[in-house]
A and B are shown apart, each in its own frame.
Chain A
């Protein structure tokens, strides 16, 4: 009896079978690339510390969802002749050319990227936003009334919220709605986890509801989407790969927060389920509302952003205000919690946008790991952050 190495002989037989169809089944020439993205935008200036607040601001990693690329610069920076450089997806070309010099003192410059195969184009606006840091905000109370919302301009599928108070960026509010859209193409704007509430405590509020993402969600083991609203950015590209990393908390904030207040109503959904969709009879869903204040630049100058998995534990945290007892209630109920400081605030770093504030609200506390009860509903309205008055 001759010895037969089983696996290799099977492979050989399979390859033999395939090779019989060699003329028909073989790898054919690669098509030219169809993608047309700016992946990074970089501005080299002679004195970056004088031009930008942080040297790291000179490089912008551009999300596939973005068509506007914004550089935040110090007030008074000379924008009349700048030469930003771009990295593009393989084979793509850009006009005007990467590194060409333009006047950015107006609304910015539009660039068009064309794919290698010539069939696809994307148009980007690159602009610079000068920010004053010599005058601190006069207010010590920052209100969030959630009255300014609209359908997302690109998709018209879900709501986004703007913040007109002037202390934070207008686009500071983010939600997980863009991720939910991928799983529910047929959902109407009101079916999303985060939707405007017609009758808030005053004017409009926000309704956060834990929604099922089935059947699509099961493909990626993410069977529900908690309603959430937070200050920061939702990176939908990474929503499937690493949901915790997709929630990027915080925006630069030039005041030291002392107290976090607001109003809520909450009803937990009936069946708390774990990540695998198995109902846990002994568990009850609960909501989560908190605010964190953290140092947004590391000692070596690299930017720091808190994510879903470290927003309450990261060593960069300076102060945390977490609402401890969010019991179920069908009446508008106030909450108020002081920021518990772990370290001192440096006033010059504060003025130079070196700290970030994040406010986070979620209808399921464990929603970031896709555990919770479908139907849990958190209503929020009239948040405010009281800040330390600045020395004149």
Chain B
């Protein structure tokens, strides 16, 4: 948590300094963006996890949502294609995760272990922990708006170096087989725990949109938003009966080399 705090403070500090140090429309002398090739290193805060899109109707409320991990470092290569257009690609390493507690009603699930299986409809609380360490390769088209603003968009490919998806269910019950089946109750003191980490895909892809604000000649602040376009779980995984897509937001500062 200390390193995370430090990152956040660094980010805030640099944004602060940037905002006070320059006036918005003053052209930046000797802007490295004017050169055809460039390299940039970035660091920031990454927030994200896998989420159902749209929310399934069995999800009745989100009782808590706490991000964890939350750090990203990135190296990018830049190529200027014209006065406004360009390309940006690189490698981002991010650690992100989220802990959520949701209340579900009549949520269809199938637990499979070896050949044994328990299917049914669960009503109650579910506390879920997601943890990822992701290697992302975005390939973005960039577009300059004036001297300071730049927009970017494009696809990305992602490899999960580490992924965990685990949690517990409690204060609820499972109706076995059908909503009128045998009721099996779970208590907060005796929850049923689960770990579906190995049912998560390693290879993910999606699209990224972002914007960047050039504070100094070399220093910029950026925000990027990633939306996964393939299910975070393997096709054969039936326990979560709706698709979950990885989403992530990265906020950070970049430094042109």
Give A residues with C-beta under 8 Å from B. 1-2, 4, 6-7, 9-11, 13-18, 20-21, 24-31, 33-37, 64-65, 115, 119-122, 182-186, 215-216, 219-221, 236-242
| CB neighbours of A18 from chain B (8 A) | 51, 65, 247
Which of chain B's residues have a CB closer than 8 A to the CB of A15?
65
For B251, give the chain A residue with the smallest CB separation.
Answer: A13
In the complex, the chain A residue whose C-beta lies closest to that of B168 is: A219
Contacts of B185 in A (CB 8 A): 237-238, 240-241
Give the CA-CA distance A7 to B190 in the complex, in Å.
29
Query: Which residue of B65, B105, B116 is within 8 Å of A184 (Cβ)?
Result: B116
B51: which A residues are within 8 A, CB to CB?
18, 21, 25
B9 within 8 A of A: yes
- Do A115 and B180 form a contact, CB below 8 Å, given A17-B247, A34-B106? yes
The residue in chain A whose Cβ has the minimal distance to the Cβ of B172 is A241
The residue in chain B whose Cβ has the minimal distance to the Cβ of A92 is B180
- Which residues between 204 and 257 of chain B lie within 8 Å of chain A, taking CB atoms? 225, 227, 247-249, 251
Q: Which of A26, A29, A36, A215 contacts B180, CB < 8 Å?
A: A36
Q: List A contacts of B186 (CB < 8 A).
A: 220, 240-241
Kindly list chain B residues whose C-beta atoms are within 8 Å of the C-beta of A27: 55, 59-62
With a cutoff of 8 Å between Cβ atoms, the chain B residues found around residue A241 in the complex are: 185-187, 190
Residues of B within 8 A of A64 (CB): 175, 181-183
The interface residues of chain A lying within 8 Å CB-to-CB of B105 are 30-31
CA distance A121 to B178 in the complex (A): 11
Given contacts A34-B179, A183-B116, A237-B183, contact A219 B193 (CB under 8 A): yes
* Given A4-B12, A17-B48, A35-B106: 8 more A-B contacts, CB < 8 Å: A13-B47, A21-B247, A27-B55, A64-B181, A65-B183, A120-B178, A215-B116, A241-B185
Would you give 8 A-B contacts (Cβ < 8 Å), ordered by A?
A: A11-B65, A13-B249, A31-B58, A31-B106, A115-B179, A219-B193, A220-B186, A237-B182
Chain A residue at minimal CB-CB distance from B119? A185
Q: How many residues of B sit at the interface, in one of the four size bands? A: 35 or more
Please measure, in the bound complex, the distance between the C-alpha atom of A64 and the C-alpha atom of B179, giving whole angstroms: 11
Q: Smallest CB–CB gap between B104 and chain A, Å?
A: 11
Question: Which single member of B57, B62, B190 contacts A240 (CB below 8 Å)?
Answer: B190
CA–CA, A326 and B156, complex, Å:
68
Given the known interface contacts A2-B16, A14-B98, A36-B180, the answer about A242 and B45 at a Cβ–Cβ threshold of 8 Å is no
What is the bound-complex CA distance between A256 and B16, given in angstroms? 86
Chain B's interface: helix, strand, loop or mixed, by majority?
A: strand
Q: Which residues of A contact B113 (CB under 8 A)?
A: 215-216
Distance to closest chain B CB from A9 (angstroms): 7
1/0 per residue B56-89: CB within 8 Å of A?
1111111001110010000000000000000000
- The listed residue (B53, B175, B182, B249) touching A24 by CB distance below 8 A is B53
- Known A15-B65, A35-B175, A186-B116: A219·B192 in contact at CB below 8 Å: yes
Inter-subunit contact B5/A220 (CB<8 Å): no
Instruction: Return the chain B residue nearest A115 by Cβ.
Output: B179
Q: Verify if B154 is at the interface (C-beta below 8 Å from A).
A: no
Q: What are the residues of chain A within 8 A of B114 when measuring CB–CB?
A: 215
Interface residues of B in 177-202 (CB under 8 A from A): 178-187, 190-194
- In the complex, chain A residues whose CB is within 8 Å of the CB of B65: 11, 14-15, 18
Docked complex Cα distance between A65 and B180 (Å): 9
**In the complex, what residues of B have CB within 8 A of residue A120's CB?**
178-180
Q: How far apart sit A285 and B187, CA to CA, in the bound complex (Å)? A: 29
Assuming the contacts A13-B47, A25-B55, asked whether A37 and B180 have C-beta atoms less than 8 A apart, the reply is yes
A2 contacts across to B, CB distance below 8 A: 12, 16
Partner of B190, one of A35, A65, A221: A221
CB proximity of B241 to chain A, nearest CB, Å: 14
Once the chains bind, are A28 and B57 in contact (CB under 8 Å)?
yes
Proximity bits, B140-177, A CB within 8 Å = 1, else 0: 00000000000000000000000000000000010110
